[in-house]
Structures are given as structure tokens and as C-alpha cells.
Amino acid sequence: MSSSVSFASALLALAPLLIAAFLAGSLTQLTRQFARPRAPALRPALAQAAAAGIAALSVSALLSATLSPAPSPALLLALACVTGWSGPRILGRLGSLIEKWLGLHGTDARNPEDPLAAGPGSWTELERHSHTDMPSRKG
């Protein structure tokens, strides 16, 4: 029972930072999307922003858990913004690095030397199966 209490208290202690990381990543991606000369449709832009926020939250949580001493909140928020700008594809790269570190071989058919290549769920893949209201990546 004490381990669940300590987990809950640790999660509550990290919650403000993780929420801030999610918001920083999401807002950074939204800014990137709407700064384009031709603004994208709202729904895909919001989906990209939410995915970028999840990526930023994940990177912040992983760095908080693995680095000792814990990085400063300002550094974690800066990394959340960088992750937000890069978007959710950074999780593919991070996942590949973790799999390599653990000695696992992923089932992904992409070139393992290029984990940022377009794959399922990427913007290129979304464009291929999109409706006409989704903006092109070039715009």
C-alpha cells in the first residue's frame, strides 16, 4: 500500500510540470501550424497539437525519471517546446533509441537507420488517406 501512496504523491508532485509540458508542446505546434502561409484545417491542426503535447509530456516525464539529478523545470519546459515544434514524430525516434538501448528489435518495416522516415501515423501517411480539406505539407 505504501508504494501506491508514494507513486500517487510522486505523480501529484510532477503533475504541474507535466501539464505545463503538454501545454507548451501543444501551443508550440499550434503556432507552427497556424504560422504557415495557408492555415491548415482546424481538426488536423488540433490533432497534431494534441499529439505534439503528448510527445512533449512523454519526453519531460522520461527525462525527469532517468536523469539524476533531476533537470530543472525550465530545461524540461524548453525541451517540451522543442519537442512541440518537432511534433509527434520525435516519439518514433525516441522509441527506436530506447529499443536499441534495450536490445529489442522493433517490428517496424521502416529503415532502422532512419527512424524519422514517414511511417504509420505520420503527416505524409495522413495526407495519403485524407479528404480534400486537409492541407498539403508544402503549404
Q: Would the pLDDT of 137 be above 50? A: no
Domain positions in the chain: 2-128
CA torsion 99-28-53-63 (nearest 10°) is: 50
pLDDT band for position 108 (cuts 50, 70, 90): low
Max alpha carbon distance in the chain (Å)? Answer: 55
Contacts of 64 (CB under 8 A, 6+ apart): 14, 17, 70, 71, 76
Give the single-character DSSP code of 65.
Answer: H
What pLDDT, on the 0 to 100 scale, is given for residue 64?
87
- Cα–Cα distance, 110 to 120 (Å, whole number): 10
pLDDT digit string, tens, across residues 49-100? 999 999 999 889 888 888 888 889 899 999 899 989 988 788 788 788 888 8
Q: Would the pLDDT of 105 be above 50? A: yes
- Mean pLDDT over 15-25 rounds to 94
Average pLDDT, the chain: 77
Percentage above 90 pLDDT, the chain: 35
